[in-house]
């Protein structure tokens, strides 16, 4: 059962899954414990999810960065 679930997640949501895992690993490396550090872990996971979602939607990372930092 878990094998089918894991295969589905990796096939259908590869970018989001990788983003979450990478964000979690990065945050664990930089942080040990504490309230503010826990918020940083959550922030890293959210950023990883957003980047992974953009990958799943087949959007260019360059165009996404330009959109985020465009002049108003």
The sign of the dihedral angle between the CA atoms of 22, 27, 30, 33 is negative
**pTM of this prediction?**
0.49
pLDDT tens sequence across 3-24: 888 888 888 888 888 888 888 8
Res. 25: pLDDT tops 60: yes
Domain ranges of the chain: 2-68
pLDDT tens sequence across 45-68: 888 888 888 777 776 667 767 777
Helix and strand element counts for the chain (H, E) = 4, 0
The sign of the dihedral angle between the CA atoms of 39, 72, 50, 62 is negative
């Amino acid at each position: 059962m878990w094998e089918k679930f894991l295969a589905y997640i990796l096939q259908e949501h590869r970018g989001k899954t990788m983003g979450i895992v990478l964000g979690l690993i990065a945050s664990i490396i930089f942080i040990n414990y504490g309230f503010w550090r826990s918020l940083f872990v959550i922030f890293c996971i959210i950023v990883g999810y957003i980047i992974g979602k953009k990958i799943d939607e087949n959007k260019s990372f360059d165009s996404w960065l330009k959109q985020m930092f465009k002049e108003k």
